[in-house]
Structure 1
Amino acid sequence: MYNLVILASRPSDWTHDQFIEWWRGAHADMTYGLPGLCRWHHTEILEAMDDKHSAGWDGLSVLSFKSKQDLETALASEEWTKAVEHVGAMRGRRIAVMGDERVMVPEQ
């Protein structure tokens, strides 16, 4: 799998619950149609380690595609454009990275 990983925090005037509801609801509806999307895992961040670098994040999404080319096709799609427009000027923070997935411990 080739993954797009997004770590995000809410805008300062939103609650954590509002942001998660939006991300898993209205924004998810914009994302389901991405061409080539094979899997999507979303984690609601409820706790952070004790250091200051880990605090302040609300959620993590891992969107999986069969190849880098499939992800690039999705990022060039009308569906991606609509999803980005849906985020608009939200004012939250995000980190977005991409790369190959390697299963280190398989599901049991």
Structure 2
Amino acid sequence: MYNLVLLAAGPPEWTHEQFIDWWRGPHAELTYRLPGLRAWRHTEIDRALEPRSEGWDGISVLSFDSPEDLRKALASPEWADAIEQVGDMKGRRIAVTGHEAQLFGD
């Protein structure tokens, strides 16, 4: 799998719960439509283990078969719709991509 990993914090005027509800609700409805999306895992962050890790609300891992499939998704109208929905939300995010290696478990 080739993954797009997003670490995000919601807008400062939103509660953590509001942001997670939006992310797993209205924003998810657009994300599900991405062409080539094979899997999507989302983790709601409920606490930081150290001070430098504080301030984040969740992590999404969007999986595709290949880097080319991810590039197609990022060039799609569906991605443009998702980005438009985010608009000028004033949250924070870190976005990275890479090949997945399963190291343990199913």
User: Which residue of the partner structure matches residue 41 of structure 2?
Assistant: 41
User: Which residue of the partner structure matches residue 19 of structure 1?
Assistant: 19
TM-score between both structures, scaled by the size of structure 2: 0.98
- The Cα shift of 1:47 comes to 1.1
- The Cα shift of 1:75 comes to 0.3
SS in 2 for 1:96: strand
1:10 to 2:10 alignment: yes
User: Which residue of the partner structure matches residue 64 of structure 2?
Assistant: 65
User: Which residue of the partner structure matches residue 98 of structure 2?
Assistant: 99
- The Cα shift of 1:90 comes to 0.4
Deviations 1:64-95 (A, max 9, x none): 00000000000000000000000000000000
The CA RMSD over aligned residues, in Å, is: 0.6
TM-score between both structures, scaled by the size of structure 1: 0.96
C-alpha distance in 2 between matches for 1:33 and 1:73 = 13
- The Cα shift of 1:97 comes to 0.2
C-alpha distance in 1 between matches for 2:14 and 2:82 = 19
- Unpaired segments ≥5 residues, structure 2: none
- The Cα shift of 1:106 comes to 2.5
> How many percent identity over aligned positions?
60
C-alpha distance in 2 between matches for 1:83 and 1:66 = 21
Aligned residue pairs total 106
